[in-house]
Chains A and B, each alone.
Chain A
Amino acid sequence: MASTGTEIKITQQIAAEHGLTAGEFARIQKILGRDPNITELGIFSVMWSEHCSYKSSRVHLKRLPTRGAHVVQGPGENAGVVDIGDGLVAVFKIESHNHPSFVEPFQGAATGVGGILRDIFTMGARPIAVLDSLRFGPTHAGPSAGNATPDEIARNRRIVDGVVRGIGFYGNCFGVPTVGGEAVFEPCYSNNPLVNALALGIAHKDELFFARARGEGNPVIYAGAKTGRDGIHGASLLASAEFSEESQQKRPNVQVGDPFMEKLLLEACLEAMRTGAVVAIQDMGAAGLTSSSAEMASRGGMGIEIELDRVPQRETGMTPYEMMLSESQERMLLVAERGRERHVFDVFHKWGLDAVQIGRVTTDGKLRVTHRGKVAAEIPAHALAEEGPRYERPIAKPSAANLDRSAASRGKPVEFAAEGTDLTPNFRKLLAAPSIASKHWITEQYDSMVRTNTRLGPGSGDAAVLRLKESKRALAIKTDGNGRWSFLSPRLGAMHAVAEAARNVACTGARPIAATNCLNFGNPEKPEVMWQFTEAIDGVAEACRVLETPITGGNVSFYNETLGNPIYPTPVLGVLGLLEDAGCALGSAFRNEGDAILLLDARQSAHSEDRQRAEFSSSEYAKTIHGIVAGAPPAIDLPAEKTLIGCLVALASEKAIASAHDLSDGGLAVALAECCFESADDSGACLSAEIELMGGSLFVSPGLQSGEHGPSGRATSSLDSSGASAPDELAAEYALFGERGARAIVSLSAASLARAAAIAAKYSCNVQRIGTVIRGAFRIQYNGTTAIRGEVSPLRKIWSESLAKALESA
């Protein structure tokens, strides 16, 4: 039994200071059959923290679909694993590092990247790509900045700068390309930025490693950086509580990253694994030595005994409590085969790293920690890892009034501009909106090409595409999530996040095969937040089921609140796709002057005008132009999304089209502009588009060339009967900037038109020719009137310089 000796008596009060409730404390006493000592209390407090135990979310996460044809390993390991053929697997996961990135943006973001990379190579996979899904407060003044003060805007710029530098610092040195992600700006993230990092790796299917301790007497080996006092209680106190005025004082809880050390650890781990002497391995991330040892023991149904005196330390006089709770970075815990530990040591020493035996595997199921010959802690490993509290927290749908109060900015539904209004000025404003403007200022600070697999990097395609040197195939990957929509309807918002990521992946020609999710929410002890969470889970579950992208892992981040103001509920989805032939990968930019521009629209119906106004009020346009965040996200049609995905993949694999780009933020007009802007050649000259839209034809399926290749019966249904407006009454703003899903723009040569139409018809996907790729002015005509017109290069300048202008003044 652990010595309590002269140590302080653990009281309810001390437990509360560790973030444990009275009920949780009583449960600890029951499990141990006695009072815990301070080290044990610390161990329980981190393992049962929200961050490590998922105590508020676990009962709900069960509803997510986790099985599928490609899934090798679902949630529960360090990362998800999917089969991609040729004996290879993709290993991927997304994780948040939100709180540390607010307290210390540079190190917070850097160690977020470091943490997710370790999760990947712990499984025996070499990381081949990182994506970052970022949410910041406003960096520009204007209607969409809400009530942000100049001070707040200045601080947001510093946060963006620090986060971007931190991500670059870590990934660039480690040698993994940062190939994509998103950066979105909303007032609610001002005091609570989101930094979600996704990493993707590749391994041979028969060379995967798992974190399951096996074999009594097998040595437990500590490898990597030395243990210091940094990051103590990072998981329990930083990630599992809201922020207050004093949060800056938590800076010492943020870890410090050393990407060079991580690079050594990567190479050493992969090389050690190849010796065949490694039985199990887990990184020391949140809750460091505690979680890695308890979880490996628990998963393997074994116990682990650790002698803390053997742990490499970079500070003197560390107590068992400090060593067990340290979150020093770049450390690994391995179980080796007894008698072959020398092979493991040799590899780590070759890379100049510490590797020492600190303990052994036992059969008693306990995590036993000794220090200076005394037992410092003794706890059943399973109780720590699996028997943490589970809460069915109260759930309450917020009343409309409540929603109103918590919103950063609200307003009445948008009134559409009069027919015939020149929309060019608003279009320019939209192109400059930080969430829409080019992100190259950010992405150029990341090495997006190292490892020479990046076929489509930042800005080139709707998703990043990485070729596989070992195979003809390629992988596509993208993150998406619309917090504003999730705020207005958590369920719909979550469904759109899945659908948009999957659609983006399909635009590159890849078939979406699996997903990972990062669920960023406020304080789960608030019933309204819990309602948002359960709604979002149901949305993700439904969309993933229909689109056949099972969830293979991810992370939940609660307590994203500062001074009681929660962020928008922000489910971020990462979707992985597989391209059978890397040579078929498609970018989003127009390719050739004279190509036809087609709008693919898998949706079956339009809405009434009220409904259009309601969904338009949730758009980027409404926010940017009118400062309105209201209404509801567009209705989602998952079968239509699936149709569109199938159609896009077929068009790409049959090489029938030259480019594909989905419609999302800013709608059709912005999507068209992006297809032009990204087409810029080396000298900066870009292609343009001449578009002619008829309101009435936007929801019907005229086929191509006078219906010659008309789609099948299912697709030809025009407007739904539920009080739809007459087609010609579609407001121009709605048609040009509306954000309904299940749509994409493709460009192709005239010679391919018939083939493309036949493929679209086969998939029952509506298609119509809306214009032509040209050189010259960018122009969109609507119902015979010019709605937008401008020279393409000044428009591109607005779009490409907006972010840099705001952020270079940081």
Chain B
Amino acid sequence: MKFGVVQFPGSNCDDDACHAIGSVIGEPVDLIWHQSENLSGYDAILLPGGFSYGDYLRTGAIARFSPVMRALERFANSGGLVLGVCNGFQILLEAGLLPGAMLRNQSLRFLCRQVHLRVEQTDTPFTCAAHRGQILKVPIAHMEGNYFCDAPTLAELERNRQILFRYARPDGTVDPRDRESNPNGSLDAIAGVCNRERNVAGLMPHPERAAESSLGSADGLVILRSMAESVARREAARVSA
């Protein structure tokens, strides 16, 4: 099992992701420079939070053209696991690897706070260690996290069970109009989605920041652990086959 964390020049959660993966859950992890076009040898790639190339234009709009993204597309198409967190999610949306787009937060302000997520699907490599309806306390920190897609896309997301996380109240109820629990105003309170093939996912909250209870929450670990477990299972299946 080996994780890779992509380092765009403006990534600023790359070290945090490496810390959570390497030091907290104890899986091997490398930083991958954005100019790299080779992702062989990795089982899972994480696109971390930050400001990839400054993001003065539109979040992730430039990053999608970087060399590493060409390699990432091949990696994803061949079934590799890809998780985008915050800016990483925005980049995956820009790259068309995930459906939908990000609008500015409804308040038009940057927002950093703990939120609660409800796990909506557990038959994915990103949530298999969680149970359905589990509530995760994980922080957000973004200016553009107001998820949006058109009605047909939303229907498709629902039909294919691609909505992995919704912003929720601590008791698990979801109300998209409630600014307290859905602070950025996301459509249908969507916090994270995956692709149809279920090997590429993105979410705005930062699981790597919710990896140690001494810092407020360790609930984000279940996402990283799910990825490690599903890779291990896949490897075991390959060996026994």
Q: Give me the interface of A with B, judged by CB distance under 8 Å.
A: 165, 168-169, 172-175, 258-261, 263-264, 267, 351-352, 443-455, 467, 469, 582-583, 682-683
Contact = CB atoms under 8 A, between A and B. Distances in A.
B141 interface: yes
Contact of A175 (B23, B50, B211, B216): B50
Contacts of B53: 260
A682 B141 contact: no
B109 A450 contact: no
Given A175-B50, A583-B214, A447 B10 contact: no
Contacts of B214: 455, 467, 582-583
A237 to B, nearest CB: 29
Given A263-B10, A455-B214, A450 B51 contact: no
Interface string B127-169: 0000000000101010100000000000000000000000001
B51 A173 contact: yes
B112 A452 contact: no
A451 B16 contact: yes
Given A173-B10, A682-B137, A445 B111 contact: yes
Contacts of B12: 173-175, 263, 450-451
Given A260-B56, A444-B111, A445-B109, A172 B141 contact: yes
A450 B110 contact: no
Contacts, number: 93
A452 B110 contact: no
B79 interface: no
A528 B170 CA distance: 56
Interface in B44-94: 49-51, 53-56
Contacts of B111: 444-445
Central interface residue in B51, B53, B114, B137, by most chain A CB within 10 Å: B51
A509 B12 CA distance: 30
Contacts of B215: 449, 452-455, 467
Contacts of B13: 175, 450
B128 to A, nearest CB: 24
B28 interface: no
A263 B116 contact: no
B10 A682 contact: no
A266 to B, nearest CB: 10
| The 3 nearest A-B residue pairs measured at CB | A175-B12, A260-B54, A682-B170
B16 A447 contact: no
13 contacts: A172-B112, A173-B12, A173-B54, A263-B51, A443-B112, A445-B110, A445-B111, A447-B112, A449-B112, A449-B139, A452-B16, A452-B20, A455-B214
A447 B141 contact: yes
B15 interface: yes
A469 B19 CA distance: 9
B54 A445 contact: no
Given A447-B110, A455-B214, 10 more contacts: A168-B110, A169-B110, A173-B10, A173-B54, A259-B51, A260-B10, A445-B109, A452-B20, A454-B215, A683-B169
A165 B108 CA distance: 11
B16 A450 contact: yes
A455 to B, nearest CB: 6
Interface string B212-231: 10111000000000000000
Contact of A450 (B20, B141, B170): B141
B209 interface: yes
A683 B16 contact: no
Nearest to B180: A684
Nearest to B52: A260
B9 interface: yes
Contact of B112 (A448, A451, A455): A448
Given A445-B110, A445-B112, A452 B208 contact: yes
Contact of A451 (B15, B55, B109, B114): B15
Interface in B193-222: 206, 208-209, 211-212, 214-216
B209 A452 contact: yes
B238 interface: no
A451 B169 CA distance: 27
A444 B16 contact: no
A683 B172 CA distance: 11
B148 to A, nearest CB: 22
Nearest to A268: B9
Interface string B1-31: 0000000011011011001100100000000
A452 B139 CA distance: 11
Contacts of B211: 452
A383 to B, nearest CB: 40
A172 B141 CA distance: 9
Contacts of B19: 452, 469
Contacts of B208: 452
Contacts of A583: 214
A315 to B, nearest CB: 20
A263 B137 CA distance: 29
A73 to B, nearest CB: 26
Contacts of A683: 169-171
B25 to A, nearest CB: 14
A444 B111 CA distance: 5
Query: Which of B13, B110, B170, B208 has its CB near the most chain A CB atoms (within 10 A)?
Result: B110
Nearest to B113: A444
Interface string B87-124: 00000000000000000000001111110100000000
A352 B141 contact: no
A449 B12 CA distance: 11
A567 B229 CA distance: 61
Contacts of A267: 9
A175 B7 CA distance: 13
Contacts of B55: 173, 260
Contacts of A451: 12, 15-16
Contacts of A261: 54
Given A351-B9, A352-B9, A452-B20, A260 B110 contact: no
Contacts of B51: 172-173, 175, 259-260, 263
B9 A263 contact: yes
Nearest to A582: B214
Contact of A446 (B9, B112, B209): B112
A134 to B, nearest CB: 17
Contact of B9 (A172, A264, A469, A582): A264
A447 B209 CA distance: 12
A140 B211 CA distance: 41
Contact of B141 (A165, A259, A263, A449): A449
Contacts of B212: 452
Nearest to A351: B9
B137 A172 contact: no
A450 B10 CA distance: 13
Nearest to B9: A264
B139 A446 contact: no
A352 B35 CA distance: 11
Contacts of A453: 215
Nearest to A474: B214
Contacts of B169: 683
Contacts of A168: 110
Nearest to A266: B12
Nearest to A174: B12
Contacts of A169: 110
Contacts of B113: 444
Contacts of B171: 683
Contact of B110 (A446, A449, A469): A446
A481 B170 CA distance: 38
A12 B206 CA distance: 61
A453 B216 CA distance: 11
Contacts of A260: 9-10, 51, 53-56
A445 B105 CA distance: 12
Contacts of A454: 215
B170 A444 contact: no
A39 B212 CA distance: 56
